[in-house]
């Protein structure tokens, strides 16, 4: 999602103003309104969307997937893929740039606050079975995925491309998906076929798949060498962005103001609720604060619908009149906990700081 | 969509910076990416969305519509509505705030550039038939529609409410819609039932319908007296926002840059295309300029799919190397033409200035 090339600092913006170039992204991409955390499965159109270039206009009847560089190169139509054994799994997807706009400085890109997430049911063919059928050459180290979406980034016209190490590509749960929530993929979600890689940030889930290739060397494309790296300064080569860090989000309680979206709540008992997820492991704990982070209380965490789906959490709270700052933070089974404040990085990636929600509680019986 | 009350000037922002309160709207509401102008019918999830408060969490099985103030008050379930004779019609919807961010100054609200539009197929019951069944009292002047969405606006906690003059409510094409594009309404589009009023800006198409009432007086609610008025200064009572002004938009040709979304195009023949619509009448003419508006050429305008649907336009252009500013403007059958620059107003409504697209054309055979 970075617009920078390694070695060249991207433009920086102050946190109290958003540029028109950022606005051009924000009015076409969109997040999941946080009240939609209530749905186990995110309805179509509420799932977050981040599209680097344009949504390509694909003739699904003429489309085919090309597998190149394998022992048995193949070309597969949608019908060919549907004729193979299919699986359906709930997968929580999050954009690597979620939280970017909440860093004190950030590059020009999609200015996400907190909404770049969704949990959908994806149906498709396990990638491992297609790789086995095509025959992976013995010297293969990575599998490269190329989408039909083309654009200009870092001065280069390019197709969107991402690779995966072979062992990641072979993992259980990695899908070539042709359905979302029981319906054929919508154009903006990669129709007719996309990659789904549970646990990894969204940049890996290549949409509008055109070509899958076996590589005997690590891929050095733009989205690996310039974009999607955690770099502390412009000359830092950095580490690649990979798996989703733990995060919890809260359904903002009460009702919203328009246009500022401040929250208004009646005094009394309220069930605080939300979702938590991590790309590394199950969620072990969600803590909630009702005093701005001074004290924390364990919420109840429900089991997930599947190994790659977010988990619901909830906690009863008796809201007293006045102003309150609510917060939540998750810890996953590896012991990784959301930070109070995440360390910023050049690309504005992986800001999983605790979620804070200010509420005004009114005594309506007074 | 205005956050102001009549008599109080809303906060104004400079056009070169967007506030975080505006960003909070922009990351949850979303426009239709302009490349989706290619689809006759806008796919789910690409249609624009503007939601004042939160998407309400509605139990569709327990929901019913209440008709009050009629000769025969009624309560109707979704099944009751589906048992009545249904119609399907393509309707172009546009937000009254589309173009707001392109005014030199604007109120804090949803900072739309140009994408707040969509053309969907809506299925439901003609409102007139339900009004006839309920029996409209002889002294009725307006029909009031109340949604289940609640929030705080102008210091008032309120349900979203809009009324229509009786003769507008009775018009052909006005629907109580329970399907969009052949599927039950999605939560964010007003499930299980919304109003569709062809030709009117989006604020009229009340979502999550709870109650319909016959009124013997004009409704004086917030969305009529404070919001959705064309006011030239804070003390101007202004005129109500009603029907959609003529507009044309263009599919930006070539490929997009990321993140700035500048356009890159190969020299040679290219088909410029887009859509045009007006809430008052059919489109009579679409003109295209390839020199920033100095000269204009008539595009071919296709007939609409129905009386309330947008119309495709197209024009062949031979792109020569260099920088070009493309533009398009529509004129409807009443003679109303899009202005080069629209007159701004306090609420930032109805900015239907001509659409301009800058492109860089490269000679790839050189």
Confidence of residue A1 (pLDDT cuts 50, 70, 90): very low
Query: How far apart are the CA of B348 and the nearest CA of chain A, in angstroms?
Result: 13
Q: What does the pLDDT average to over A316-339? A: 98
Residue A177 DSSP class: E
In chain A, which residues have their Cβ closer than 8 Å to the Cβ of B261?
Answer: 21, 24-25
Which residues, in sequence order, are CB contacts of A53 under 8 Å at separation 6+? A149, A150, A151, A160, B255, B256, B258
Contact A110 B18 (CB under 8 A): no
Partner B, chain A 60-79, Cβ-Cβ below 8 Å: none
pLDDT value of residue B229: 97
Q: What does the pLDDT average to over A43-54? A: 97
Task: With CA atoms as reference, report the closest residue to B342 among B108, B16, B114, B115.
Answer: B114
Contact A120, A34 (CB under 8 A): no
B156: nearest CA in chain A? A257
Contact A259 B22 (CB under 8 A): yes
Confidence of residue B19 (pLDDT cuts 50, 70, 90): confident
On the question of pLDDT at B13 being above 60, the answer is: no
- The Cα–Cα gap between B233 and B103 comes to 15
Using one digit for the tens of pLDDT, what is the confidence trace for B272-312?
A: 999 999 999 999 999 999 999 999 999 999 999 999 999 99
Q: What does the pLDDT average to over A20-43? A: 95
Where does residue B291 rank: exposed (0-12), middle (13-18), buried (19+ CB within 10 A)?
exposed
Question: Is the interface score ipTM higher than 0.85?
Answer: yes
Contact B290, B317 (CB under 8 A): yes
Using one digit for the tens of pLDDT, what is the confidence trace for A237-262?
A: 999 999 999 999 999 999 999 999 99
- The Cα–Cα gap between A266 and A268 comes to 6
Residue B343, φ and ψ in degrees, nearest 5: -75, 130
On the question of pLDDT at B365 being above 90, the answer is: no
On the question of pLDDT at A109 being above 50, the answer is: yes
Cis peptide, bond prior to residue A154, ω within 30 of zero? no
Contact A329, A337 (CB under 8 A): yes
pLDDT value of residue A2: 35
What are the angstrom distances between the C-alpha of A253 and each of A273, A287, A316, B259, B322?
A: 8, 17, 12, 34, 53
Residue B107 DSSP class: B
Contact A351, A98 (CB under 8 A): yes
Confidence of residue B11 (pLDDT cuts 50, 70, 90): very low
Where does residue B29 rank: exposed (0-12), middle (13-18), buried (19+ CB within 10 A)?
buried
Q: Say how many C-beta atoms besides its own lie within 10 A of residue B363's C-beta.
A: 12
Q: How many CB pairs under 8 A join A and B?
A: 198
CA angle, corner A99, sides to A250 and B151, nearest 5?
Answer: 45
Using one digit for the tens of pLDDT, what is the confidence trace for A135-160?
A: 999 999 999 999 999 999 999 999 99
DSSP, collapsed to helix, strand or coil, labels residue A8 as: coil
Which residues, in sequence order, are CB contacts of A83 under 8 Å at separation 6+? none
Start-to-end CA span in chain A (Å): 51
On average, the pLDDT of chain B sits at 94
Using one digit for the tens of pLDDT, what is the confidence trace for B250-276?
A: 999 999 999 999 999 999 999 999 999
Give the whole-number percent of chain B exceeding pLDDT 70: 95
Task: With CA atoms as reference, report the closest residue to B10 among B351, B352, B353, B349.
Answer: B349
Contact A23 B18 (CB under 8 A): yes
pLDDT value of residue B105: 84
């Amino acid at each position: 999602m970075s617009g920078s090339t390694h070695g060249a600092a991207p433009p920086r913006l102050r946190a109290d103003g958003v540029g028109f170039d950022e606005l051009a992204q924000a009015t076409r991409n969109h997040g999941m309104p946080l009240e939609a955390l209530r749905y186990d499965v995110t309805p179509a159109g509420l799932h977050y969307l981040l599209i680097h270039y344009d949504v390509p206009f694909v003739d699904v009847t003429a489309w085919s997937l090309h597998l190149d560089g394998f022992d048995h190169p193949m070309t597969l139509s949608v019908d060919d893929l549907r004729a193979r054994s299919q699986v359906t799994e709930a997968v929580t997807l999050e954009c690597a740039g979620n939280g970017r706009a909440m860093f004190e400085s950030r590059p020009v890109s999609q200015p996400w606050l907190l909404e770049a997430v969704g949990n959908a049911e994806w149906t498709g063919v396990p990638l491992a079975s297609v790789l086995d059928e095509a025959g992976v050459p013995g010297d293969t180290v990575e599998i490269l995925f190329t989408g039909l979406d083309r654009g200009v980034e870092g001065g280069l016209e390019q197709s969107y491309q991402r690779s995966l190490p072979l062992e990641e590509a072979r993992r259980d749960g990695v899908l070539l998906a042709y359905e979302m929530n029981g319906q054929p993929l919508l154009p903006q979600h990669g129709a007719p076929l996309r990659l789904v890689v549970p646990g990894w940030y969204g940049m890996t889930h290549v949409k509008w798949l055109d070509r899958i290739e076996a590589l005997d060397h690590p891929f050095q494309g733009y989205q690996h060498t310039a974009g999607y790296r955690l770099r502390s300064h412009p000359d830092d080569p950095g580490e690649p962005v990979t798996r989703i860090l733990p995060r919890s989000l809260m359904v903002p309680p009460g009702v919203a103001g328009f246009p500022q979206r401040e929250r208004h709540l009646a005094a009394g008992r309220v069930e605080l609720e939300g979702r938590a997820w991590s790309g590394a492991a199950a969620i072990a704990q969600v803590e909630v604060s009702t005093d701005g982070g001074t004290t924390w209380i364990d919420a109840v965490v429900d089991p997930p619908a599947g190994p790659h789906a977010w988990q619901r959490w909830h906690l009863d709270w008796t809201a007293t009149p006045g102003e309150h700052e609510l917060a939540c933070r998750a810890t996953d089974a590896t012991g990784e906990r959301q930070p109070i404040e995440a360390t910023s990085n050049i690309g504005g990636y992986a800001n999983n700081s605790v979620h804070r929600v200010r509420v005004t509680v009114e005594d309506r019986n007074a």
